[in-house]
Each structure stands twice: as structure tokens, then as C-alpha cells.
């Protein structure tokens, strides 16, 4: 089955700096790669996703890149703000089955 | 995105008992899933809830422990049977929405004592 690795497990940045979280996957059949943000005590919220026919996608301060050859994808957050502090999960899946395999999560802390 | 409601939102349960979690969606969806998130951990898929037939369980999860029902396209239940402290987790209902994106319900926080 699919295996998703995520790094780093914790990340501390100063407000205004950029944050990068990286994930690798093992199943070449995976073609859908969402990112979720989970604040303490709340459900995971989808923040951005990318499909295998696209190499990069951007939404305001958030961007995701995908390298299918190397089987890795990354989340980039620019101009970080304290409200970006949360746990971020990457995931991989196939579009039709919709089953997602999640990474282990990255706890991002944005300090003033 | 669909509105996904779960009940209960939080519960404290005695070991050896069973608890049924309900998931209600405000629109018909083809795919519904149940995930578990143990304290401080990532999300793990328990099973796919199939409408009108038995759920499809992932490796490590069995029907006797986690029976699932899905009587229609907007509702599903997950039962956690014969609970032990190791079952203390967040149980999350999820659905496949537009563009094949996956959305999560609010979660049911279970503590087994």
C-alpha cells in the first residue's frame, strides 16, 4: 500500500518568514495530494490540493509543488502569521478511490 | 463543501462498553469514510462506508470491533465495540465532495476510562 513520509515533525519560524514542509510517497499510482491544517481541538481543514497533471499550485500565501518523478511534494507558506500555527498533514491518494494515506504531521509554530 | 455533522462530539466511556457515532451529511454523497486519529498522531483510515452493503475495512480494522452502517447516501454510523483505553481517539467521518476532494466532519472525541 501507499506510504507517506513527512518532514520535519516540528517547525518553528518567526512571523514573516517562510515555512516549507516536505512529503514523499511510494505508490506511483497516487495522483491526488491534499494538505490539511488542524488547529488544536478542531477537525482537519483542507487548505490546498494538487493533482498529478500539475506541477505547482498557488493560493495567496500558500503554494504546493509536486515532483512526480521523485515522488515528492511540498507545502510552502510565505509571510507566515501567528494564525498559521497548527499541525499540517500531507496526504496521497487516487482520485477515483478517494482513500487517503496521511503523513505523520508537522507542528508549525509561528513566533512573534 | 458539504456540511458534515457528527454526534456525539465528545464522550467519556467505560471500558467494555460500546458507543455508536453518527454522521449526517446535508447532501447526498457517493463516498463516505471513517478515520481514527489517536492522541498526537496522524489520521488512519478505518473503512469505507458503502451504501446498502458491508463496509470495506482497511488492514488492522475488523467489522466485529468497528461495525459500520450506511443505510442511505446522507447518513452513516460507526460503532466502537468493547472499548479499551487504547480506543481513546478522535473518530472522524469524511466524505468525497466536489472535484473529488475529501472533507471531514467535526470529529467525535472519545475517552475510555
Query: Could you say which residues of chain B have pLDDT below 50?
Result: none
Say whether A102 and B42 touch across the interface (CB within 8 A): yes
Residue B111: CA atoms inside 13 Å, Cβ hemisphere, count?
4
For residue A50, is pLDDT > 90? yes
- Cβ of A43 and B104 within 8 Å? yes
Residues 29-48 of A with CB under 8 A from B: 32, 34, 36, 42-46
Average pLDDT over residues A45-55: 90
Per residue in A13-26, pLDDT (tens digit) is 999 999 999 999 99
- Extract the C-alpha cell encoding B78: 460507526
Rounded to an integer, the average pLDDT of A44-58 is 92
Encode burial over B78-96: b for 16+ CB neighbours within 10 A, e otherwise.
Answer: bebbebeeebbbbbbbbbb
Residue of A nearest to B33 (CA): A99
B55-B80-B83 Cα angle (round to 5) = 150
Report pLDDT for B4: 96
pLDDT tens by residue, A56-107: 999 999 999 999 999 999 999 999 999 999 999 999 998 666 789 999 999 9
Give the A:B interface size as CB pairs under 8 Å.
47
Exposure of A78 in the CB half-sphere (CA atoms within 13 A): 7
Cell triple for A65 = 509543488
What's the grid cell of residue B105? 466532519
Predicted confidence (pLDDT) per residue in B66-82, tens digit: 999 999 999 999 999 99
Tell me the β-bridge partners of B7.
B22
User: Does residue B5 sit at the A interface (CB-CB below 8 Å)?
Assistant: no
> Given an 8 Å threshold on Cβ–Cβ distance, is B45 in contact with A101?
yes
Amino acid A95: pLDDT: 64
DSSP string, A44-87: -EEEEEEETT-SEEEETTEEEEEETTTTEEEEEE-S--GGG-EE
Q: Do A103 and B42 touch (CB under 8 A)?
A: yes
- Closest by CA position to A4, among listed A25, A21, A22, A20: A25
Percent of chain A with pLDDT over 90: 88
Alpha carbon distances (Å) from B109 to A91, A110, B104: 22, 27, 14
Mention every residue, 6+ apart, whose C-beta is less than 8 A from residue A71: A24, A25, A26, A28
Residue closest to A71 by CA, chosen among A92, A57, A87, A88: A92
Amino acid at each position: 500500500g501507499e506510504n507517506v513520509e513527512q518532514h520535519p515533525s516540528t517547525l518553528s519560524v518567526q512571523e514573516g518568514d517562510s515555512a516549507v514542509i516536505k512529503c514523499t510517497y511510494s505508490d506511483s499510482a497516487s495522483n491526488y495530494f491534499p494538505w490539511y491544517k488542524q488547529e488544536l481541538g478542531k477537525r482537519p481543514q483542507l487548505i490546498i490540493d494538487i493533482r498529478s497533471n500539475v506541477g505547482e499550485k498557488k493560493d495567496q500565501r500558500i503554494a504546493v509543488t509536486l515532483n512526480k518523478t521523485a515522488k515528492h511534494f511540498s507545502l510552502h507558506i510565505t509571510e507566515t502569521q501567528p494564525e498559521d500555527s497548527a499541525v499540517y498533514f500531507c496526504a496521497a491518494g487516487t482520485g477515483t478511490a478517494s482513500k487517503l494515506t496521511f503523513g505523520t504531521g508537522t507542528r508549525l509554530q509561528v513566533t512573534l | 463543501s458539504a456540511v458534515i455533522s457528527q454526534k456525539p462530539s465528545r464522550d467519556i466511556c467505560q471500558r467494555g462498553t460500546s458507543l455508536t457515532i453518527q454522521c449526517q451529511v446535508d447532501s447526498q454523497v457517493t463516498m463516505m469514510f471513517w478515520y481514527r486519529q489517536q492522541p498526537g498522531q496522524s489520521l488512519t483510515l478505518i473503512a469505507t462506508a458503502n451504501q446498502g452493503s458491508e463496509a470495506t475495512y482497511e488492514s488492522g480494522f475488523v467489522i466485529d470491533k468497528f461495525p459500520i452502517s450506511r443505510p442511505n447516501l446522507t447518513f452513516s454510523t460507526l460503532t466502537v465495540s468493547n472499548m479499551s483505553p487504547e480506543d481513546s481517539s478522535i473518530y472522524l467521518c469524511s466524505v468525497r465532495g466536489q472535484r473529488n476532494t475529501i472533507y471531514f466532519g467535526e470529529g467525535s472525541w472519545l475517552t475510555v476510562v
